[in-house]
Amino acid sequence: MIYLLLSIASSTLIFVLFKLFDRYNINTLQAIVVNYVTACTCGVILYDKDINISEVFGAKWFPAAIGLGFLFIAIFNVMALTAQKNGLSVASVASKMSVIIPVIFGIYIYNESIGFQKIIGILLALIAVYLTSIKPKEDTVLTKSIYLPIILFFGSGIIDTSINHFAPDDDIPLFSATIFAIAGIIGFSIIGFKSIKQKSRFKVKSIPLGFTLGIVNYCSIYFLLKALRVDGIESSSLFTINNVAIVAISTLIGLLFFKEQISRNNWIGILIAIISIILVTLT
């Protein structure tokens, strides 16, 4: 349970940091690249074996790590834009509503249980996620940028499913570090191209928040994978609890610290989220 709580806390902080990018006018791409360098470094430091590059290239999970590296930097940028253009809770809900993708995958591929109580819990979770995303005063902004939440939904679902499916049980730090390294290389390539074509310079102020994001980002993946490897917890249940909790907490943080509007529907959504977590947990 401690791994799940730490995963929820670190994942929620990611959304908060993205909101701070906008407040302090931080270059999103530059900060994200710093984030991946930091996250990769965390994985290397925490790996307690000697790293053999040839063995990494030959690992069964390496092709998946390459694909995830591309997805990570693409979806991270989309997540940041969604938080900035549509609001913190909309970004949270778009990425966490995608819980339905790994849940369905776990039920059909891993033959996980699907009793009546669990079905009700998952359905309530989706309703809760929707209700917490309703922002009456932001409808016009959401309409203009509706493609961002849609991309975020599918991208986040594919990432969660792939991480759970391809991550090795004994090499989680190295697997995570490899994904972050690939994402970082792609990011540096993009920055290099932009610096040449657009003559844009790297801003030093992108480093502190990027560094902080890197630590939080690594923790979110590491603790999620550790939680998924705990015996007795099915991935469909864990993803539901993890994602719904993040949505509810992100909404409250948006209210308390970023003065985002929270309606009666939002409060109802948070209440339903708590009920859904209880139902899925007690399955």
Task: State the burial class of residue 54 (Cβ atoms within 10 Å of its Cβ: 0-12, 13-18, 19+).
Answer: exposed
Helix boundaries (H) for 87-205: 88-96, 100-109, 116-133, 139-144, 147-166, 172-197
Residue 141 is predicted with a pLDDT of: 46
What span, in angstroms and rounded, lies between the C-alpha atoms of 225 and 228?
5
Pick the residue with more confidence: 280 or 180? 180
How is residue 120 written in tokens? 């009700």
Residue 211 is predicted with a pLDDT of: 96
What span, in angstroms and rounded, lies between the C-alpha atoms of 184 and 180?
6
pLDDT over 50 at 220, yes or no: yes
Angle (nearest 5°) at CA 71 between 70 and 72: 95
Grade residue 140 by pLDDT with cuts at 50, 70 and 90: very low
What's the predicted TM-score (pTM) here?
0.81
Residue 193 is predicted with a pLDDT of: 83
Residue 142 is predicted with a pLDDT of: 46
Pick the residue with more confidence: 143 or 198? 198
Under a CB-based contact definition with an 8 Å cutoff, are residues 42 and 101 in contact? no
Residue 144 is predicted with a pLDDT of: 52
pLDDT above 70 coverage of the chain, percent? 93
pLDDT over 90 at 48, yes or no: no
Range scoring the smallest mean pLDDT among 134-148, 159-173, 264-278 = 134-148
Residue 8 is predicted with a pLDDT of: 93
Pick the residue with more confidence: 238 or 198? 238
Residue 65 is predicted with a pLDDT of: 93
What span, in angstroms and rounded, lies between the C-alpha atoms of 99 and 152?
12
Provide mean pLDDT across the span 175-192.
90
pLDDT over 90 at 125, yes or no: no
Question: How do residues 74-99 score in pLDDT, each as one tens digit?
Answer: 887 888 788 777 776 677 667 767 87
Question: How do residues 241-256 score in pLDDT, each as one tens digit?
Answer: 888 888 788 888 888 8
